[in-house]
Each structure stands twice: as structure tokens, then as C-alpha cells.
Amino acid sequence: MKKVVLVGVPGMNDEEVENLEQYIREEGVEEFSFLGKPVLSRDEALEKLKDADILVTWDQRMDDELYKELNLTAFCAASTGFDAADIEAATRNGVIVTNAKDYCVDEVSAHAVMLLLACGRRLYHVTENVKENVWSVKGIGNVKRFADSTVGIFAFGSIARGVAEKLKGFGVRMISYDPYVDEEIMKEYGVQKVDFDTLLVESDYITMHSPLTEDTKGIFSRDAFEKTKDSLVIVNTSRGGVIDQAAMYEMLKNGKIMAAGLDVLLNEPPTEAEKGLMGLSNVIVTPHSAYFSDEAQEQQLRITARDVGRIARGERPVNLRNSV
């Protein structure tokens, strides 16, 4: 039977760890080891994962060299995101990659819409006014009506489609850039397919829903932001790495970007590099919590355990992300 190892899940609480182990064992897995929540260093990974067949993790970062040194059968991301797997390296080394796909579509799409509205309505400003006993919109600046604005959706997977469904009642125009999704599918959601430059130029709001890949890493660069409207609101509930964080910080400071709602950062937990960004008055930051609900937590663990069990039994996993 395959040996399953859980590690690199900072933020997973003790009850979740216990439940995940229980669900994996219910799938018939007998050899299970929990090595701790922190991500292992490279040397630690080489030592502690040497006998592992299936790695279950959130953030344990892999690469060609590690895959070659270890004898993994599968990298099972207990999350929607699986960029830590380095899917190209995994595929080259014959390692299966899975994720907990679609367990939190409603939660993340709702969180994204919440941030869009909170930033657009300057919630960050008026709540501070109230705390300072200023019962007015003093200093709020220009606020445009949400209806008739253009919301740009970067990538159009399951969560982005949830956002489009939720925005239908607001009277906004929706456009999306995703080279991998057909125009006809977008039309079903009331969304117009556009190229990346059009997304940048025409959007009043941009909400980001893509995985972090070589193509999307840093795609929202200084040059990209220079093309946008000065009143742009950006929301990111995908991966911090799709944005050039330093460029975003500068443009939030000088007003080129009006506001940002961020559930993800380049470094998590935040480092000194994020301190300035988080301190800006026109930024709302949540702690990578968009996925969170009681129902989603349970589904996340069940989906992960199901595919671990299938792989351990030599069956095809449901959420296979690569071809091996």
C-alpha cells in the first residue's frame, strides 16, 4: 500500500489535520504520516519525504531536482491552487498532480464580489470616518455608480463564472480575458470575451481568478497598469504572484489605482515587503480566507482524501491536473 505524507499546510487547524487523516484512512490507506504544518526546507524534504509515495500539502514547493531525488507517485494539493507542485516538473518526472477543485466556488466568488463592492463604495474610508466620530462622507472623493460600470474578469474558470452569476443583477457590463475559454461559454454568463489589452483599457474594476503559471506570473505589471483607467479598482482572490506587487504599491500610492481588495499576497504570511502595501488606506487585505466556510472546509478535506485513496488503489483520480 502507498505511504501518504501530510506536510506544508500552514494555517490548517488541528481538527482539520485530524479529520483529513481520518478521511484518508477511511479510503483504505494504512501508512499515513503527519510531519507538521510548516513547509520543509529542501534538505528536510529530501530526508523526510524519501519514503513517501503520495505527498498531501498546500505549500510544499517542488521542482525537477526534488522529484528526481524522491520517489513520489503523486502530489495532492489539498486546495484549489497547485502551483507549489510545479506541474511541468511533475509531469516530466511522471508524478500525478491533483487538487481540491471547486470545493469553494461559492465562497471565493462571494468574497470577490464583496471586495469589489467594498472598494468601489470606499468602505475602507467611511468606516474610518465613523471610528473617528466623523458621521459623513468627508474626504471620500469621487464615487461612481456601480451599475453601468465595466467589470473585467481575468481568467474564466469555475470561480470566475460564479462571480459573473452573482454580478448579473447589478447592471454591470462584464468582459473577460481567457485564451482557453470559448467565446460562446462566456456569452452564456453574459460576459464578452476580449483580449488582455482591452481588459486593461476598458475595465473600471478587474477581478483576478487565474492560477499562477509561467504565463500569468507578474502579468499585471507596471506596463499593464499604465494602460488602465486612473480610477481602477483591482481585486485578487487567486494568487499574489499574478501581480507585480511593487508596481501595484506605487500606483495605489499615487492614485493610478484607486483601490485594491486583496485576499492573496506575494508572500504569505506577509513579510516586510508587504508591510507598506497593507498600511495603505485604500487597500483592504484579508488573510487568504476567501475559501472559508464550514461547508467548504469539509468538502475540501473529503475531495482531497477521495483522490488520495484512488491513487493509493491504483485508480484514476477525479481531479487529475496533468497527463502522466
Gap between the Cα atoms of 21 and 33, Å rounded = 9
HSE-CB of 34 using CA atoms within 13 angstroms? 17
Task: Decide if 307 is inside a domain.
Answer: yes
Residues 188 and 271 in one domain: yes
Confidence of residue 106 (pLDDT cuts 50, 70, 90): very high
Residues 198 and 248 reside in one and the same domain: yes
- Residue found by looking up cell 506605487 in the block: 250
Provide the CATH number for the domain around residue 216: 3.40.50.720
Residues above pLDDT 90, as percent of the chain: 95
Whether 306 is a known active-site residue: answer: no
Q: Which amino acid is at 285?
A: V
Is residue 202 assigned to a domain?
yes
Cβ 54 vs Cβ 74: under 8 Å: yes
Taking each helix axis as running N to C, give the angle between helix 123-131 and helix 105-120, from 0 to 180 degrees, rounded to the nearest 10: 70
Is 80 exceeded by the pLDDT of residue 100?
Answer: yes
> Does any domain span residue 84?
yes
Share of the chain above pLDDT 70, in %: 100
Please check whether residues 243 and 113 belong to one and the same domain.
yes
Task: Decide if 317 is inside a domain.
Answer: no
In whole angstroms, what is the distance from residue 255 CA to residue 225 CA?
A: 11
Q: Kindly state whether residues 250 and 146 are assigned to the same domain.
A: yes
Of residues 239, 306, 310, 321, which has the active-site annotation? 239
Chain length of the chain: 324
Among the listed residues 210, 263, 218, the one whose alpha carbon sits nearest the alpha carbon of residue 237: 263
State the average pLDDT over residues 17-42. 97
Number of domains the chain is built from: 2
d(CA 89, CA 76): 15
Given 122, 161, 209, 288, the catalytic residue: 288
Is 162 a domain residue?
A: yes
> What pLDDT shows up at residue 291?
93
Q: Is the pLDDT at 324 greater than 90, yes or no?
A: no
With CA atoms as reference, report the closest residue to 225 among 210, 244, 253: 244
Same domain, 148 and 177: yes
- Catalytic: 111? no
End-to-end CA distance of the chain: 20
Q: Residue 312 is which amino acid?
A: A
User: Which pLDDT belongs to residue 99?
Assistant: 97
Both 68 and 117 in one domain: the answer is no
Residue ranges of alpha helices (H) inside the chain are 14-26, 42-48, 64-69, 87-92, 105-120, 123-131, 158-167, 183-188, 196-202, 222-226, 245-254, 272-278, 294-312
pLDDT of residue 82: 93
List Cβ neighbours of 41 (8 Å cut-off, separation of 6 or more). Answer: none
- Average pLDDT for 212-237: 96
Q: Between vectors from CA 264 to CA 178 and to CA 180, what angle results, nearest 5°?
A: 10
pLDDT higher than 90, residue 111: yes
- Quick check: is 268 catalytic? yes
Q: Check whether residue 47 and residue 164 sit in a common domain.
A: no
Task: Give the amino acid at 74.
Answer: A
Residue 323 lies in a domain: no
User: Do 146 and 64 lie in a common domain?
Assistant: no
Whether 271 and 137 share a structural domain: yes
| Mean pLDDT computed over 106-111 | 98
Residue 133 burial (10 A CB sphere; 0-12, 13-18, 19+): exposed
Helix, strand, or coil (residue 197): helix
The answer to whether residues 96 and 109 belong to one domain is no
Residue 269: predicted pLDDT: 85
Q: Which domain holds residue 51?
A: 3-103+293-312
What the block records as the C-alpha cell of 56 is: 498531501
Catalytic-labelled residue, pool 44, 202, 268, 298: 268
* 58 located within any domain: yes
pLDDT of 73 over the 80 cut: yes
Residue 225 pLDDT greater than 90, yes or no: yes
Residues 119 and 211 placed together within one structural domain of the fold: yes
**Is residue 131 located within the same domain as residue 270?**
yes
Mean pLDDT, to the nearest integer, of 16-40? Answer: 97
Residue 32: which of 44, 17, 45, 43 has the closest Cα? 17
Question: How many angstroms separate the CA atoms of 112 and 116, rounded?
Answer: 6
Is the model's pLDDT at 239 over the cut of 80? yes
Quick one: pLDDT at residue 11? 84
Domain-embedded: residue 235: yes
Write out pLDDT tens, residues 288-317. Answer: 999 999 999 999 999 999 999 999 999 999
Please, which pLDDT band fits residue 1 given cuts at 50, 70 and 90? confident
